[in-house]
Amino acid sequence: MNKKKTKIQLGEQLFNDILLSKNKLFSCASCHHKNKAYADGKAFSLGADGKLLPVNTPSLEYVGLNYYFTWTGKFNDLNEHLNMLITSNKIMNNSWDTVINRLASDKKYQELFTLAGYHTINQNSISNAIITFELSLARLSRFDLYLKGNFNQLTKNEIRGYQLFKDYGCSSCHQGVNIGGNMRQKFGVMRPYFDEKKVKIRDLGFFNSSHDESEKYYFRVPSLRNVSKTSPYFHDASASTLKKAIRVMFKYQLGIFPNHEDVEHIEDFLKSLDAIDE
């Protein structure tokens, strides 16, 4: 039996299991829906306390290609990230001892962990299974096939949009294999994005972790893969459409006001980054 495949199957089952949350009401899949590119399409998801979480739920489909995780890039290790999700009183609000005891007392899970090659059910094996599943989610896009030499994958408008994406400088931050996810950047490079009188704690970005004034308003540059499927946009869900998000980026990150046609072409290109349906 293929143990990696078995690990993926176990990880998927854990990902969808409410036993991971203290109140047994939430699973990872409660906020990361497969049919929404592993986001949830909501401005804000409900937390463990029944209140809305302060930031928009990001997509997980290409999480394995990121260097930083969470909106602020607080983590660069998926194990640390998962530990935060399990133990946060606003998300799963659980303890590893409780999770381990629940799973270890389940005969079905005992068998599944053994089949997947794990000798014990503990934090490491649970985390490894879930992360193995998350790493398996990435799929090719038409843009990937285009880069491999299949030039018929993109339309003329999409190719034009790709060129504009590079010419305007979007690729200076949205770079690498994940078209983002590997650096932090200030939200409001060319002009202030946040009104200082109305700024919320969530808007301070990585400053909330580093407490370094120079990192105020810094956020992880998100991957643009599947971006057409993961509205609303930004940490505060303030852009309801992709066109609006593109215009915000032009105004505040690049200091440019593009014409309508260029925005249309860039949007066309971004849609080519969607995962190809299986």
- pLDDT tens digits along 236-259: 999 999 999 999 999 999 999 999
Report in angstroms the alpha-carbon separations of 216 from 3, 170, 196, 249. Answer: 44, 21, 12, 18
For tokens 């935060």, the residue is: 84
Domains, the chain, ordered by start: 3-135 (1.10.760.10), 142-271 (1.10.760.10)
Locate 244 and state its tokens.
């609006």
Beta strands per DSSP E along 132-183: none
pLDDT value for 1: 60
- 145-188 pLDDT, tens digit per residue, is 999 999 999 999 999 999 999 999 999 999 999 999 999 999 99
Query: What is the rounded distance in angstroms from the CA atom of residue 239 to the CA atom of residue 180?
Result: 18
In terms of Cβ atoms closer than 10 Å to its own Cβ (0-12, 13-18, 19+), residue 272 is: buried
Sign of the CA dihedral with 208 first, then 84, 57, and 164 last: positive
Question: At residue 80, what are phi and psi to the nearest 5 degrees?
Answer: -65, -40
Query: What is the rounded distance in angstroms from the CA atom of residue 275 to the CA atom of residue 179?
Result: 13
Contact 4, 10 (CB under 8 A): no
pLDDT value for 2: 83
- 66-99 pLDDT, tens digit per residue, is 999 999 999 999 999 999 999 999 999 999 999 9
